[in-house]
Amino acid sequence: MRIIYLLIVCMYFVGSLAYKPVVILHGILSGAESMTVLVRHIEKFHPGTVVYNCDKFSGWYSLENAWRQVQQIKDYIDQIGKLHPEGIIVLGYSQGGLLARAAIQSLPNHNVKTFISLSSPQAGQYGTSFLHLIFPDLAAKTAFELFYSRVGQHTSVGGYWNDPHKQDLYMKYSEFLPLINNEKLSSNSTSFKMGMVRLNKLVLIGGPNDDVITPWQSSHFSYFNESLNVIPFYKREIYMNDSIGLKTLLEANKLIIIVKPFVHHLSWHLNKRVINEVIMPYLD
């Protein structure tokens, strides 16, 4: 009887130390292979962790309409969640973090315990350096002519291009970011907020030397005003009105904001020192 009792205690102890499964979503114009360093690092230092490295919408397919991608990512996360009723962790890098957030919001009954947004344009994007990675001949000042059109909304970038000088067109034409941020109310607005406040932990990671996400503070839901001054997230309507639950999460100590300097956008998921400092502590 004593041996059986000790065995049960040991099984409980080991189970309590088990790491939750991690779902990883890559960024724009890349694929699952780009996240291999991060996957192997997690597997090495958190042995036994089940890691799902999403291979959907790789390369140029990552430019497909944002909602089309979210629909498949949502189903992917939902299926994995059902395999792990104890709960899962979702980490999205760059555009992948924005799409992952929308997918989580679209699953009001999900079992995602922690969502890590790794240098993702959560409040939108407005910058030439980012544009030139994808559209070399496009300038930020005139990009609205493409993105705020029916054709432009067929691209993922058009869905979260947030021109501070063209907010009327942004609200009129953008079919993605204003909806998931509940700037435009819809039949899904309540569900979008429910999906966020269901999280046990929301980790927002970004830094001033990112050089791609513009403004870099968009990774923390802060953004430009019309004068291109960055308004802190806590002074923006999305927080003050608790539009998607950011205020609720912060007041419950479930919102973690990480500012990490001297990290370029392309290094967040490749630099092992950075991974140890800003990602590994939240994979529990």
Active site (catalytic) residues: 94, 210, 265
Retrieve residue 187's tokens: 């039949």
Q: What are phi and psi of 218, to 5 degrees?
A: -60, -25
Strands (E), the chain: 22-25, 51-53, 88-93, 112-118, 201-206, 223-224, 230-231, 255-259
Closest CA to 213 of 272, 162, 249: 162
What are the Cα distances from residue 84, in Å, to 19, 42, 110, 111? Answer: 11, 18, 11, 9
Q: Is the dihedral of CA 261, 267, 268, 270 positive or negative?
A: negative
| Contact (CB, 8 A) for 130 and 214 | yes
| Helix residue ranges, H only, 120-161 | 128-134, 144-147, 156-160
How far is residue 199's CA from residue 33's CA, in Å, rounded to a whole number? 28
Closest CA to 31 of 80, 82, 112, 95: 95
Q: What is the DSSP letter of 133?
A: H
